[in-house]
Amino acid sequence: MKFIRVVLGALILFFNWVFTPRSIKRSSELQQQVDKNVKGFTLYQYKACPFCVKVRREIKRQAMKIPTKDAKRDQQSADELVEGGGRLKVPCLKIEEAGTVRWMYESSDIISFLQQKAA
């Protein structure tokens, strides 16, 4: 079972690498605005999780600068996720804005939210 998961993970990463999406090109003012919109965001994720790959691809497509934390390999990140978000489930977007902190689970919700921030 573990072997199958490792092979599938490697395949996901390989195809993600081969078909890396292009980043959108914006004017520098627009890009600065998008950078500002996502400034306090952090993505908690696993490297080979397909839902995380889906979110990372959208981040790349949208040319967003969002730091990632690996909640599988880094115990501190896993603890932060459980303490803050309430569950060890990825992907999860930590959203720090306007003095508040929110934790958003579900890849489709995260992608829709990021698309709004890019609009």
Ligand X SMILES: N[C@@H](CCC(=O)N[C@@H](CS)C(=O)NCC(=O)O)C(=O)O
Q: Which residues bind ligand X (CB under 6 A)?
A: 46, 49, 51, 88-91, 106-107
SS3 assignment, position 22:
coil
**Residue pair 94/84 in contact by the 8 Å Cβ criterion:** yes
Half-sphere exposure of 42 (CA within 13 A, CB side): 15
Residue closer to ligand X, measured from CB, 24 or 48: 48
Cis preceding linkage at 91, omega within 30: yes
Question: Minimum distance between the CB of residue 17 and ligand X, rounded to whole angstroms?
Answer: 18
Residue closer to ligand X, measured from CB, 4 or 98: 4
Question: Minimum distance between the CB of residue 50 and ligand X, rounded to whole angstroms?
Answer: 6
Cis preceding linkage at 21, omega within 30: no
Please work out, in degrees rounded to the nearest 5, the angle formed at the alpha carbon of residue 97 by the alpha carbons of 95 and 100.
85
Question: Minimum distance between the CB of residue 21 and ligand X, rounded to whole angstroms?
Answer: 18
Question: Minimum distance between the CB of residue 88 and ligand X, rounded to whole angstroms?
Answer: 6
Residue closer to ligand X, measured from CB, 26 or 47: 47
Residue closer to ligand X, measured from CB, 111 or 118: 111
Structure tokens at 112: 């829709």
